Amino acid sequence: MSELSGLYALWYREFKVFLRERSRIVSSLVQPLMWLVIFGGGLSSSILLTGVPSGINYQSFIFPGIMCMTVLFGSLFFGLYIIMDKRVDFLKEVLVAPLGRTTIFFGKVLGGSTDGFIQVIILLILGTFLFNIHLTLYSLVITLIVVALLLISITSLGLTIGALMSSPEGFGLITSFVIFPLFFLSGALFPIKNLPSWLYVFVSINPVSYAVDALRTVILGVGSFGLAKDLAVLVVFALVMLFIGTEAFKRMKF
Amino acid sequence: MVSLTNVIETHELTKRFGELVAVNRINLKIEEGEIFGLLGPNGAGKTTTLSMLATLLPPTEGSAEVNRFDVVRQSSQVRHSIGFVFQDPSSDDLLTGKENLYLHALMYGVEMKNIERKIAEVLKLVDLTDRQNERMKNYSGGMRRRLELARGLLHEPKILFLDEPTLGLDPQTRVHLWGYIKKLSKEKKVTVIITTHYMEEADELCDRVAIIDHGKIVAMDTPMNLKRNLGGDVVRIKVKKPNMAAVKKLKYVKHAKREGDSVILTVNDAGSHLQEILGKLGKIESVESRSPTLNDVFMHYTGSGIRDADAEGGYFERIIHSQANNR
């Protein structure tokens, strides 16, 4: 019982703080909008997408990828807050509470994922009005499931890095080595059919590619791996990251 | 063997960080309802000891029981029994005072139906009822301390740990806070373990104190006894060329040392012997005689060398400090 209310407490804190820091919400949306409006808009007129129906322009094509990017950047940097908590004694206040480390970790994942979920939903709403994105109930449900799985995985990854590092600089260094390969090798910005085979290998071992592919399948009807395989990979990815994160939290020094 | 009234017992409690022995075979027995002070210079091992008692750090050797639960094997029960007020701010700035208390109540599994009542109760205890809905970034240092004190009590712990509770506060706020600590120890009947290097704080608050240095307990008693055992009054004499040998021969001079252009003596019944001392010592410029304070006791046991402030606190603090210094 106390583990459950503890879980709720940790989620409550992250959520309240998120709602109170409006700048966090705004800044999290600026970047994807720039990609969509400037990068997407700029390339739309001059790019020819192979293997994609002609009704889909480049801007709509990268929309699922930009959704994943929002998750990627927002959730990975969520791990930075744990380093902030370490710098003051807030983390100790949590660690000295009679809660298991697993509970603390899951509470953080839940809190971070909620933040990301809200950002993605705002982006989806903007997408339907501005970027010609149409969702049915079915595609909305699958979209939310895919986003949730990716959020859990990436938040766990961010928290794992945060648990192992003790300075924001160190965190920044590690994440920049992680975040750009995950993003650029996900097929967020290009179709993955007809890629050079060396590049295709990297794309196909990147779990984020499967989230992009799943979203593209349900939102635009264009996919490469197949939805069942996408979802299976994402579930496994989420489980593995949750496991690694839990272990990292158990070993976390303060 | 655990006595019924001891809420904390340690046996040869030891913590090593690599080569460094931060806490060296400490044996403590703290009784229920006591306000117990852990005094020591920076880096003496106070925070590390507290962290082990609070299950935040595992001991390298030895054992400790808190509320008769073993800190290693029964850490969850130990955590339920204790409240902890940390040295550094440990509440969320963006949340209100009340929200921080609410979070704490949830984490400690306080029953939902009791949460509101208990929050109101502890807020009243520290006089923060009318500021409870303000965000904590608007709180002063003293208010923040008071709120964290209240938070430490929320789940009705048997033992409350206060790590340097008045560090960085102005004298008025400090005296104010002492009042709160005394009040809650009396009203809530909690055992309070306090670390500090403010001697007047320890003298004012603590029933008993232990002085630790280099990870070892060098003295442990009531402040009154410690002062008495120092053996008399402290006399400070400013003198050009003191005849130390002559003074040291005097039976009632317990302790004599030079400090700059002064001589500091510990003398039995200074009033009736001062004349003779002054006569033997040489040409006197000024004399000052007073009864010993806890500060004298502290200096007596720990010496007067300046400690490396960098080593303050536990492992965690050291990591942070070393990183702050790397900038």
Report yes or no: B18 at the A interface, CB cutoff 8 Å: no
Q: Which residue has the higher pLDDT, B43 or B143?
A: B143
- The DSSP output letter for A225 is S
Report yes or no: B315 at the A interface, CB cutoff 8 Å: yes
**SS3 annotation, A22-90:** HHHHHHHHHHHHHHHHHHHHHHHCCCCCCCCCCCCCHHHHHHHHHHHHHHHHHHHHHCHHHHHHHHCCH
Same domain, B58 and B173: yes
Same domain, B120 and B29: yes
- Best residue of B107, B115, B138 to probe chain A, by most A CBs closer than 10 Å: B107
Q: Which residue has the higher pLDDT, A199 or B315?
A: A199
Average pLDDT of the segment spanning B94-105: 92
Q: Is the pLDDT of residue B327 over 80?
A: no
How many other CB atoms sit within 10 Å of the CB of residue A189? 18
Q: What is the pLDDT of residue B319?
A: 44
Q: List b or e across A8-30, with b for residues whose CB sees 16 or more CB atoms inside 10 angstroms.
A: ebbbbbbbbbbeeeeebeeebbe
Please give, rounded to a whole number of angstroms, the shortest distance from the CA of B93 to a CA of chain A.
9
Q: What is the pLDDT of residue A234?
A: 96
Q: What is the rounded CA–CA span in Å between residue B199 and residue B296?
A: 9
Q: What is the pLDDT of residue B305?
A: 61
Q: How many domains does chain B have?
A: 2
Please give, rounded to a whole number of angstroms, the shortest distance from the CA of B313 to a CA of chain A.
12
Q: Is the pLDDT of residue B306 over 80?
A: no
Q: What is the pLDDT of residue B274?
A: 84
Cβ contact B90–A88 (<8 Å): yes
Q: Is the pLDDT of residue A249 over 60?
A: yes
Cβ contact B56–A95 (<8 Å): yes
Select from B80, B88, B103 the Cβ nearest to the Cβ of A98: B80
Q: Give me the residue label for tokens 């510990």.
A: B266
- The DSSP output letter for B138 is G
Q: Is the dihedral of CA B179, B183, B186, B188 positive or negative?
A: negative
Select from A5, A9, A90 the Cβ nearest to the Cβ of B90: A90
Same domain, B246 and B176: no
Same domain, B155 and B87: yes
Cβ contact B316–A253 (<8 Å): yes
Q: Is the dihedral of CA A220, A225, A227, A233 positive or negative?
A: negative
ipTM above 0.85, yes or no: no
Average pLDDT of the segment spanning A198-212: 94
Q: Which residue has the higher pLDDT, B145 or A231?
A: A231
Chosen domain end from B222, B254, B274: B222
What is the pLDDT of chain B when averaged over all its residues? 83
Q: What is the pLDDT of residues B158-191, one digit of tens each?
A: 999 998 888 878 888 888 888 888 888 888 788 9
Half-sphere exposure of B212 (CA within 13 A, CB side): 28
Smallest CA-to-CA distance from B270 within B251, B285, B255, B291 is with: B291
Q: What is the rounded CA–CA span in Å between residue B76 and residue B67?
A: 12
Q: What are the tokens at B182?
A: 């005394």
Cβ contact A12–B103 (<8 Å): yes
Residue type, B55: T
Q: What is the pLDDT of residues B270-287, one digit of tens each?
A: 878 888 888 888 888 888
B173-180: long-range contacts, CB 8 A cutoff, minimum separation 24 = B173/B140, B173/B141, B173/B142, B173/B145, B174/B198, B174/B201, B176/B142, B177/B142, B177/B145, B177/B146, B177/B149, B178/B204, B178/B205, B180/B125, B180/B126, B180/B146, B180/B149
Q: What is the pLDDT of residue B312?
A: 44
Chosen domain end from B201, B222, B243: B222
Same domain, B236 and B125: no
Sheet with B6-17: strands ordered across? B20-31, B6-17, B61-66, B69-70
Please give, rounded to a whole number of angstroms, the shortest distance from the CA of A64 to a CA of chain B.
33
Average pLDDT of the segment spanning B119-128: 88
Q: What is the pLDDT of residue A151?
A: 96
Q: What is the pLDDT of residue B185?
A: 84
Spell out the residues 6+ positions from residue B302 whose beta carbon is closer than 8 angstroms to its own: B40, B41, B44, B211, B213, B218
Residue B115 lies inside a defined structural domain of this protein: yes
* CATH code where residue B273 lies: 3.30.70
Chain B residue numbers with beta carbons less than 8 Å from the beta carbon of A166 are 319-320, 323
Same domain, B235 and B209: no
Average pLDDT of the segment spanning B303-317: 52
Same domain, B141 and B277: no
Smallest CA-to-CA distance from A216 within A204, A203, A202, A227 is with: A227
The pLDDT confidence band at residue B309, using thresholds 50, 70 and 90, is: very low
Q: What is the pLDDT of residue A243?
A: 96
Smallest CA-to-CA distance from A166 within A85, A92, A232, A54 is with: A85
Domain of B109?
A: 6-222
The pLDDT confidence band at residue B90, using thresholds 50, 70 and 90, is: confident
Please give, rounded to a whole number of angstroms, the shortest distance from the CA of B274 to a CA of chain A.
51
Residue B286 lies inside a defined structural domain of this protein: yes
Same domain, B239 and B160: no
Residue B248 lies inside a defined structural domain of this protein: yes
Q: Is the pLDDT of residue A59 over 90?
A: no
CB pairs under 8 A between A and B: 86
Report yes or no: B54 at the A interface, CB cutoff 8 Å: yes
Please give, rounded to a whole number of angstroms, the shortest distance from the CA of B5 to a CA of chain A.
24
Same domain, B121 and B260: no
Residue B299 lies inside a defined structural domain of this protein: no
Q: What is the pLDDT of residues A141-172, one digit of tens each?
A: 999 999 999 999 999 999 999 998 888 888 98
Sheet with B233-239: strands ordered across? B253-259, B262-267, B233-239, B284-290
Same domain, B193 and B235: no
E strands within chain B?
6-17, 20-31, 35-39, 61-66, 69-70, 82-85, 159-163, 191-196, 208-213, 216-221, 233-239, 253-259, 262-267, 284-290
The gap from C-alpha B36 to its chain's centroid, in whole angstroms, comes to 8
Q: What is the pLDDT of residue B4?
A: 56
Same domain, B154 and B282: no
CA dihedral B297, B298, B299, B300 (to 10 degrees): 50
Residue B317 lies inside a defined structural domain of this protein: no
Average pLDDT of the segment spanning A49-73: 86
Report yes or no: B89 at the A interface, CB cutoff 8 Å: yes
Q: Is the pLDDT of residue B215 over 90?
A: no
Select from A16, A94, A253 the Cβ nearest to the Cβ of B107: A94
The pLDDT confidence band at residue A66, using thresholds 50, 70 and 90, is: very high
pLDDT exceeding 90 applies to what percent of chain B?
19
Find the residue in B nearest to A8 (Cα). Answer: B106
Q: What is the pLDDT of residue B299?
A: 83
Average pLDDT of the segment spanning B290-312: 71
Same domain, B77 and B188: yes
* CATH code where residue B116 lies: 3.40.50.300
Report yes or no: B80 at the A interface, CB cutoff 8 Å: yes
Q: What is the pLDDT of residues B132-154, one digit of tens each?
A: 999 988 998 888 888 998 898 88
Report yes or no: B82 at the A interface, CB cutoff 8 Å: yes
Q: What is the pLDDT of residue B149?
A: 87
Q: What is the pLDDT of residue A183?
A: 93
Q: Is the pLDDT of residue B2 over 70?
A: no
Q: What is the rounded CA–CA span in Å between residue A86 and residue A252?
A: 11
Cβ contact B108–A254 (<8 Å): no
Select from A16, A89, A95 the Cβ nearest to the Cβ of B99: A16
The pLDDT confidence band at residue B19, using thresholds 50, 70 and 90, is: confident
Find the residue in B nearest to A92 (Cα). Answer: B90
> Which 24-43 residues of chain B touch chain A by CB within 8 A?
none
Q: What is the pLDDT of residue A113?
A: 94
The pLDDT confidence band at residue A1, using thresholds 50, 70 and 90, is: low
Chain B residue numbers with beta carbons less than 8 Å from the beta carbon of A95 are 56
Residues in chain B: 327
> Which 102-131 residues of chain B touch chain A by CB within 8 A?
102-104, 106-109, 112
Cβ contact A5–B109 (<8 Å): yes
